[in-house]
Amino acid sequence: MTDAQKLLTIKTILEDGGEMPSDEKLTTYLSVAASEILSWIYHLVGGVPEGVSDVPAKYEMTQIYAVVTGYTQAGAEGEEIHIENGVHRNFKYTEMLDYIHNNVLPIVRVGAVT
């Protein structure tokens, strides 16, 4: 899936008649999610191998949903909690990372890392 297709998928998921985030903002989220996915996959075996820069196809939807999760959980102006008319909203900035860590399996190896 290309980045443009991922961006379109995210916009379709986020579409609710409100203001749509900019392509630049969503592309940044995609890039951060890709970096974290690759780091998480290879963190037990010495880091991301040289030349690996694309999210594996099996984790592309995880990347998309991590962006949606991260974007929708971002509070306004650094808020951690917002209470209005008796409605409590809690924002947790680690939601995107937690989503990735809970849905991506790291590569493991038996023996010492060389």
pLDDT at residue 29 above 60?
yes
User: If we measure between CA atoms, which residue out of 44, 94, 48 comes closest to residue 69?
Assistant: 94
Q: Kind and range of the H or E element at 16?
A: none
pLDDT value at position 32?
93
- Tell me the per-residue pLDDT of 68-93, one tens digit each, with 9 for 90 and over: 988 877 655 555 666 677 766 655 55
Provide the whole-model pTM: 0.80
pLDDT value at position 54?
95
User: If we measure between CA atoms, which residue out of 90, 92, 107 comes closest to residue 45?
Assistant: 107
pLDDT value at position 19?
78
